[in-house]
Amino acid sequence: MQKSQELNKLTIKQAGEKLNKKEISSVELTKACLARIKEVDDKIHACLTVCEEQALQEAKKADERRAKGERGELLGIPYLVKDNIMTKNIRTTAGSKILENYIAPYNATIIKKLKQAGAVLLGKTNLDEFGHGASTENSAFGPTHNPHDLERVAGGSSGGSAAAVATDMCIFALGTDTGGSIRCPASFCGVVGLKPSYGRCSRFGLMSMTSSTDVPGALTKTVEDAEIVFNAIKGGDEKDATVAREDIRCPKTVPPQFSSLCEENWGGTVFGHRMSQNLRIGIPKEYFGEGIDKDVLEVINKAIKKFEKLGAEIVPISLPHTKYAVPVYYIITPSEISSNLARFDGIRFGFSDGQVKDLKNIYLKNRNVFGPEAKRRIMLGTYVLSAGYYDAYYLQAQKVRTKIKQEMDKALEKVDAIITPTQPDVAFKIGEQSDDPLKMYLEDICLSAASLAGLPAISIPCGFVNNLPVGMQLIGKRFNEEMLFAVAQLIT
Ligand code: GLN
């Protein structure tokens, strides 16, 4: 039997096989993850809450279910959850002082689904306050450190989840992605990060940031694992009207065995037959120039060459509206944030010491608990939504957003996937950019467009610059994550 300290290194797939063969139990697997958290999290600071007892109980239950003959890819698999996702009876802070002691009264739909699948909840991970950021430095509880260099950021906002997966504190983790928050930390920490299409996975029980782009997704050690988690959390939900029912909206455009077909063909020998003539990868020139580190580009270009070697057709494309994606995102996002954060006034939700009695001072005192970035976004959003500015900023941004979406959809009619770098650079030093919000916003230059367009995108590790991981982003067709997995698996 494998040494218990090493079980935490397993992927979902590997752990599932060992569980099925009765080589290990979920309790052993869970203990290995908990031990790893104890061993390294003082340095990394990925976890905000660890539910040791509950996790061991859940693991025991999973073992019992398995003993009765039940099977399932996630049965008994331990995972961590970003702390802006509701987990019943567990502290859920959103990385904010305003919710420091908030205990979630119900489970998010995706948590419910994972519970039914028998996955074991280990605890909650650190994030930029309410998801606002690209470094996890905006967490009220201090930054998460990059496992590859502790002086650097883990990326954000799902930095805790990415760092936890990278250091094997869990077998997989959940994150949320509004404008890059799964893909960015995946890139900086060297793990796989999947942002599903908008409308494919329920947002019920996610703390809303930008309701029109928020999506939950997976941070995993392999693409195969990302697919397993995606399949478990996807699907319609009567509690979220923006999620499509699989049977209506999701025709099986790709045969279900597609991914395994690609795996078989890995090595390039058979690959040509079924796919290579047809596989077309779009390379948008706007993502390969100004603002992107040249060493990062070199790594990405090498990965593209690998696709070419496998027989894929590399198609140069142009997405001229790309340059508007970050400005549009940073008008729409603060607008929705200013409205979504209105509920944290200390009356219904959020901090209140109960001392102040008049309304104005209740607001002044209680809402002052927000950190600087949340306040900045509330102010920006309130400004662009106010009478006289609404048409010039918000409405205009929505119009350009439609253009971005149309342009990407059109490009994806001609290619199967679009490849870009995930980040313009590798992980930067903690504190290096924190007093420069514009610089931080530019971390999103490769990420915002897919979010605004609601397209699925995945970041996969594809090399290193100065010993720091580089991620490559693949953007796919709406509601066709299956194609993304298949393409991503070809070179991982
Ligand atoms: N960096 C982006 C922002 O700060 C992404 C946030 C997210 O996806 N939650 O808004």
Give one DSSP letter per residue of 230-296, joined into a string: HHHHBS-BTTBTTSPPHHHH----S-TTHHHHHHHHTTSTTHIIIIITT-EEEEEGGGSSTTS-HHH
Closest CA to 122 of 180, 71, 62: 62
Find the angle CA(421)-CA(180)-CA(390) to the nearest 5 degrees: 120
H-helix or E-strand spanning residue 151: strand 149-153
Mutation test residue for ligand 1: of 181, 212, 373, the one with most atoms within 8 Å of CB: 181
Cα(217) to centroid(ligand 1), Å:
14
- Report whether 214 contacts 208 (CB < 8 A): yes
pLDDT, position 249: 59
Q: Is 157 a catalytic site residue?
A: yes
Is the CA virtual torsion 296, 299, 303, 308 positive or negative?
positive
**Annotated active-site residue in 161, 181, 202, 451:** 181
Closest C-alpha to ligand 1, atom 10: 132
pLDDT, position 260: 42
Mutation test residue for ligand 1: of 176, 184, 214, 446, the one with most atoms within 8 Å of CB: 184
Atom of ligand 1 nearest to the CA of 177: 8
> From residue 162, how far is each of 147, 237, 258, 316 by CA, in Å?
10, 27, 27, 31
209 Cβ closer than 6 Å to some ligand 1 atom = yes
214 Cβ closer than 6 Å to some ligand 1 atom = no
448 Cβ closer than 6 Å to some ligand 1 atom = no
Cα(181) to centroid(ligand 1), Å:
5
133 Cβ closer than 6 Å to some ligand 1 atom = yes
pLDDT, position 267: 40
Cα(180) to centroid(ligand 1), Å:
6
pLDDT, position 228: 97
Atom of ligand 1 nearest to the CA of 181: 8
List, for the chain, all residue ranges whose pLDDT scores fall below the cut of 50: 1-2, 253-277
> From residue 114, how far is each of 16, 34, 87, 422, 460 by CA, in Å?
15, 19, 11, 28, 23
**Assigned CATH topology for domain 4-233:** Amidase signature (AS) enzymes (3.90.1300)
Separation CA 10–CA 13 (nearest Å): 8
Q: Is 434 a catalytic site residue?
A: no
- Report whether 344 contacts 312 (CB < 8 A): no
- The per-residue pLDDT for range 125-173, each reduced to its tens digit, is 999 999 999 999 999 999 999 999 999 999 999 999 999 999 999 999 9
- Report whether 145 contacts 42 (CB < 8 A): no
pLDDT, position 4: 54
Cα(130) to centroid(ligand 1), Å:
9
What would the two tokens of residue 336 be?
Answer: 């929705």
- The per-residue pLDDT for range 430-478, each reduced to its tens digit, is 999 989 999 999 999 999 999 999 999 999 999 999 999 999 999 999 9
**Annotated active-site residue in 25, 135, 139, 157:** 157
- Report whether 92 contacts 349 (CB < 8 A): no
157 Cβ closer than 6 Å to some ligand 1 atom = yes
181 Cβ closer than 6 Å to some ligand 1 atom = yes
CB atoms within 10 A of CB 103: 12
**Annotated active-site residue in 31, 82, 124, 195:** 82
pLDDT, position 254: 45
Domain ranges of the chain: 4-233
Residue carrying the six token digits 């950019």? 433
Mutation test residue for ligand 1: of 128, 329, 373, 447, the one with most atoms within 8 Å of CB: 128
Q: Is 82 a catalytic site residue?
A: yes
Closest CA to 146 of 101, 190, 182, 111: 190
pLDDT, position 279: 83
Closest CA to 162 of 146, 137, 181, 185: 185
Half-sphere exposure of 244 (CA within 13 A, CB side): 15
- The verdict on whether omega for the bond into residue 157 sits within 30 degrees of 0, i.e. cis, is yes
Is the CA virtual torsion 283, 289, 292, 295 positive or negative?
positive
Cα(308) to centroid(ligand 1), Å:
32
